[in-house]
Amino acid sequence: MNVLALVKGEEKYIFLFNDENRKTTLRQLGRYASNPDLSFTWYDAAVMSQKVRKLTRIEKAMRSRYRAVSSND
């Protein structure tokens, strides 16, 4: 499970995601950015989407390393 958080003034945005719901999380970033009632901007969405992708790559690398170590035992 991955966690991303953004605090903007009184608003707090917390995203929990994994491989199965990564695309849904990315779509939600766009929905928040397009909502004029929120302070969440398209810049915020771009930065957060990069972090989602980076965390996903890290998670996949860690899983493959774990499998490699486990299979060597």
What DSSP string runs through 2-64? EEEEEEETTEEEEEEE-GGGHHHHHHHHHHHHH-TTSS--HHHHHHHHHHHHHHHHHHHHHHH
pLDDT at 56: 84
Q: Is the pLDDT reported for residue 13 higher than 90? A: yes
Q: How many domains does the chain have?
A: 1
What domain range includes position 60? Answer: 2-72
Angle made by CA atoms 3, 43, 58, in degrees to the nearest 5: 35
Q: Is the pLDDT reported for residue 11 higher than 80? A: yes
pLDDT at 73: 60
Q: Write out pLDDT tens, residues 31-67.
A: 999 999 999 999 999 999 999 999 888 777 777 776 7
Q: How confident is the model at residue 25 (pLDDT cuts 50, 70, 90)?
A: very high
